[in-house]
Structure 1
Amino acid sequence: MSALAGTAPAITARSTAVIHRTNAVTRLIVPVPLTIVLLLTLDWVSAATALAALAILLPFAGLTPRQFWLRTLPVWIAAPLTGITMLLYGRPDGTVYWEFGLAQISDGSITIAIATVLRVLAIALPAVVLFVTVDPTDLADGLAQILRLPARFVLGALAGIRMIGLFLDDWRALELARRARGVADRGKIRRFAGMALAMLVLSIRRGTKLATAMEARGFGGATTRTWARESRLGRIDLALFAIGILVSVIVVWTSVATGHWNFLFG
C-alpha cells in the first residue's frame, strides 16, 4: 500500500492546510450529524444556517476558489433542478400564482422549493468539500485500521479505484490504435460498442491477473495482516468532530428558536 500511495493523483498539493492533517475517516464521518439533522426537517432556516457555517469554515478546507467551483459544479446544477420540481409539484398552499394540469405554483410550493434547494446544497457541499481531498490509500488505511472493516473488501475496493486511471488510459490508447488502423472513422455507435467489448475483455484479464497477484502476496489469508502505514486519530480529528457536532447543534437551535423547525416525521 505504501507503493500505491506514491502514485495517488493529488487534487491539491500536500500543504499546511488544516484539513490535510486530519484522518480520511474523520472527513468521511464529520458531515453525518449535519446530514441527519437536515434530513429530519425541511425549512430554509436550518439549511441557510448550515451554509453560513460552511462559508465560514471554507478557507480552512485547503481548496482554491477554482477547485471549489469545479468540484461542486454538479451540486450547483442539481440543486436548482430539484427546486424546480418542488416548485411545480410541491404542496399547494396560500395564493396560487400559476396552474397547468398537475403543476401548480403557490406560496407553499415556493417555500418548499427554496427550502429544498438550500437543503440539497447544505447536505452535499460539506460532503464534497471534506471528501474531495481524500487520498484513496489513506481512506483504505483508516477504514481497515480504525473502523475495522474487512481488509479483503477494503483492499479490493482500493485496487478497483486505482484501476480507473488505467481504464481511461487504455480507452484512449485503444481509440488511437483503431484510428491508426482506419476502423474508427464511421459509425459512432458501432465504434463505441466495439471498444466497450474490447475494454470488457481487457478488464476481465487485468482483474484476474490482479486477483492472482494479490492472493500470491497473502491478501485475504487467515493470518493477521500488517500495515505499511499506521492510521490513527489525533487531537485535530477530535476538534473537527467537535466542530461538526457544534454546527449541527447551532442549526437545530436556530431553526427551533425562529419557529421554522419542520419535523418531517412528527
Structure 2
Amino acid sequence: MVSLRTSPSRIPRSVRTLDGRVKIALLMAFSVALFWVHSLSALAAAAALLAVVMALGRVRWVAVLKGGAPAYVIAAFLLVYNSVSLGWMAGAVVAARVLLLVWGSLVLVSLATATELSEALRRLLTPLGRVGLPVRDVTTALSIALRFIPLTAEELVGVRAAQASRGASFQGGGLRGRLAAYGGLMVPLFVGLFRRADRLAAAMDARCFGASTEPTTLDGRRFRRSDGVVLLVGIALCVAVALVP
C-alpha cells in the first residue's frame, strides 16, 4: 500500500497521504477477505498483510493492541462458544477474524484523521444523496463511531483502574475468573460511553448542526493516479489472501 520509492523518510508519508477513499476501500476489501476465508493459514496471511501496512505506516503495535482491548472479551466468548459447538478450529477462526477486523479498523484510524475519513465517506456516498439518503448525517455518524473506537479503549482503562482500586482482581482465577471480572466492566463502560454521547449531542446542538444543508470542507486533495495504483494493488493482495487455502 505504498509507492515504489523506498526512502524511509518518504514511505510513511506516502501511506498517510493516500486519498481517504482509497483507505476506506482497502479496509472494506480486507474485511471481505476476512469473512471469505475459513482457515488459520489464510488468517495468518491476512495478519502478515496487516503487519506490513503497520510497518510501512509506522503504526505502533502497542497502540493497536491497547485500542482493541474491548474486543478481546468478545473474541474470547466467541472462541469458547464456537469451540464447544463447532470445534476448536472454528472457534479460533471466528475469534481471529474478529480481532483482525478490529485491528484493521484501528490501523485505518491511525493512518487517517476523523475529518479525512468523514469527508471521504461523504464523497463516496454522494451519489446516494440523489435518491434521498441523508449523506452528511450518515457520514457524521460513521466518523463519530470511528472516533469512539479509541475512546472506548480509554474508557475501559479508566473503569478497570477504578474497579482495581476497589479491590477487583483481573489477574487470578484462571480464564473463567478473568472473563467474569472483565464482564463486570461492561455496565460502567457503556454508562461512560453514553455519557460521552450525551455531551457530544449537546455540543452539536449548541453549534446548530443541521441548520445548513450545504456541506463545507477544508480538504482540497484530489484522487491521483498513484492512489488508483495503490487501490488496485491492495485489492489484488486482499484477493490473494482470500484465495489462500
TM-score by length of 2: 0.59
Contact (CA 8 Å) 2:64, 2:106: kept in 1 or not?
Answer: no
2:25 aligns with 29
Within 1, Cα distance between the matches of 2:135 and 2:82?
Answer: 43
1:5 aligns with none
Offset of residue 81 of structure 1: 2.8
Offset of residue 126 of structure 1: 1.9
Within 2, Cα distance between the matches of 1:42 and 1:33?
Answer: 16
1:124-143 equivalent positions in 2, closer than 5 A: 124-143=102-121
Matched, 1:50 2:46: yes
Within 1, Cα distance between the matches of 2:107 and 2:201?
Answer: 34
Matched, 1:244 2:220: no
RMSD of aligned Cα (Å): 3.6
How many residues are paired up?
183
1:170 aligns with none
Deviations 1:189-213 (A, max 9, x none): xxxx9xx99x96x77765443227x
The structure 1 residue matched to 2:219, chosen from 217, 229, 237, is 229
Secondary structure of the residue aligned to 2:244 is helix
Offset of residue 159 of structure 1: 9.8
Offset of residue 229 of structure 1: 2.9
Contact (CA 8 Å) 1:26, 1:237: kept in 2 or not?
Answer: yes
Offset of residue 86 of structure 1: 0.8
Matched, 1:153 2:150: no
C-alpha distance 67-48 of structure 1, shift in aligned 2 (>3 A): same
Within 1, Cα distance between the matches of 2:71 and 2:234?
Answer: 21
Offset of residue 240 of structure 1: 3.2
1:188-199 equivalent positions in 2, closer than 5 A: none
Offset of residue 30 of structure 1: 0.7
Deviations 1:95-147 (A, max 9, x none): xxxxxxxxxxxxxx022122222222333322221233421222232233454
Contact (CA 8 Å) 2:15, 2:56: kept in 1 or not?
Answer: yes
Deviations 1:56-83 (A, max 9, x none): 3320133123323222333444323321
Within 2, Cα distance between the matches of 1:49 and 1:128?
Answer: 18
Larger CA Rg, structure 1 vs 2: 1
Which sections of structure 1, spanning at least 5 residues, go unmatched?
Answer: 1-14, 91-108, 165-192, 256-266
Q: Which has the higher helix share?
A: 2
Offset of residue 52 of structure 1: 1.9
C-alpha distance 43-233 of structure 1, shift in aligned 2 (>3 A): same
Secondary structure of the residue aligned to 2:68 is helix
Secondary structure of the residue aligned to 1:132 is helix
Within 2, Cα distance between the matches of 1:38 and 1:158?
Answer: 21
Within 1, Cα distance between the matches of 2:240 and 2:91?
Answer: 23
1:220 aligns with 213
Which sections of structure 2, spanning at least 5 residues, go unmatched?
Answer: 1-10, 149-190
C-alpha distance 79-210 of structure 1, shift in aligned 2 (>3 A): same
Within 1, Cα distance between the matches of 2:14 and 2:231?
Answer: 13
Within 2, Cα distance between the matches of 1:125 and 1:138?
Answer: 19
